[in-house]
Chain A
Amino acid sequence: DTGVSQNPRHKITKRGQNVTFRCDPISEHNRLYWYRQTLGQGPEFLTYFQNEAQLEKSRLLSDRFSAERPKGSFSTLEIQRTEQGDSAMYLCASSSFAGTKAFFGQGTRLTVV
């Protein structure tokens, strides 16, 4: 399968713990996006990378959130000191360049208890 892959698919964690999600984009895509979707809402933009450079961050991305794409391939999204409000689906998407069709992963569903 050469689509966008996200791991894990589901994560349950206790409040205060750190979690890390991984996204493997389509290999030739240089743009990678992270979105967050809460129940009943459309996804919201968090951040995006062009190759290894993080070019834009939403104000939704508090200091507890950090994203990396060290070699311009896979990306990680880490949430430190998780809160119950962080419970959401975290979606990753990739595209070949700006303005082209985005391909989405299956998402990582985070539940903070």
Chain B
Amino acid sequence: KNEVEQSPQNLTAQEGEFITINCSYSVGISALHWLQQHPGGGIVSLFMLSSGKKKHGRLIATINIQEKHSSLHITASHPRDSAVYICAVTRGGADGLTFGKGTHLIIQP
């Protein structure tokens, strides 16, 4: 079992829909990251959080440390949101990131 699990693996939605991507992890962490990867490989860091909730524009990330679970929400989704969204954790006592496999999101106009 992977240390970081994401669901769903693939998600297709219509423009304007509210999107939720989930991430569960099984190790102790010091931080959780949500990343966005576009075709061609470039990765952009969206959020780094260790508790509670963060919001940036139409993106919201939450984390529940007790349940070892995080969600990434996209409100009023748009075709330009189409990308792979990756959850990653910084493990307590270690460095580098441990990644989930990613969620491939397609927003159709």
- Which A residues lie at the B interface, using CB under 8 A? 31, 33, 35, 37, 40-45, 48, 55-56, 58, 89, 91, 93, 98-107, 109
Q: Which 4 A-B pairs have the closest CB atoms?
A: A42-B99, A107-B41, A104-B43, A45-B96
Total interface residues in chain B, CB < 8 Å: 24
Q: Number of A-B pairs whose CB atoms are under 8 Å?
A: 63
Within the assembled complex, what's the spacing in Å between the Cα atoms of A45 and B51?
24
Q: Say yes or no: A104-B44 contact (C-beta < 8 A), given A40-B101, A42-B102, A48-B96.
A: yes
Question: How far is the CB of A23 from the nearest CB of chain B, in Å?
Answer: 13
Question: How far is the CB of A3 from the nearest CB of chain B, in Å?
Answer: 10
Q: Which residues does chain A contribute within 8 Å of B94, judged by CB atoms? A: 56
Judging by beta carbons under 8 Å apart, are B45 and A107 in contact? no
Some 18 contacts from A to B, beta carbons below 8 A apart, are A33-B96, A35-B97, A41-B102, A42-B99, A43-B97, A45-B97, A55-B95, A89-B41, A91-B41, A91-B43, A93-B43, A99-B31, A100-B48, A104-B44, A105-B42, A106-B41, A106-B42, A107-B41
Within the assembled complex, what's the spacing in Å between the Cα atoms of A35 and B37?
14
- Which B residues lie at the A interface, using CB under 8 A? 4, 30-31, 33, 35, 40-45, 48, 86, 88, 90, 94-102
Judging by beta carbons under 8 Å apart, are A42 and B100 in contact? yes
Q: Which residues does chain A contribute within 8 Å of B96, judged by CB atoms? A: 33, 35, 45, 48, 56, 58
Q: Which residue of B lies closest to A31 (CB)?
A: B95
Within the assembled complex, what's the spacing in Å between the Cα atoms of A40 and B10?
11
Within the assembled complex, what's the spacing in Å between the Cα atoms of A85 and B97?
22
Within the assembled complex, what's the spacing in Å between the Cα atoms of A42 and B54?
23
Judging by beta carbons under 8 Å apart, are A102 and B33 in contact? yes
Question: How far is the CB of A105 from the nearest CB of chain B, in Å?
Answer: 8
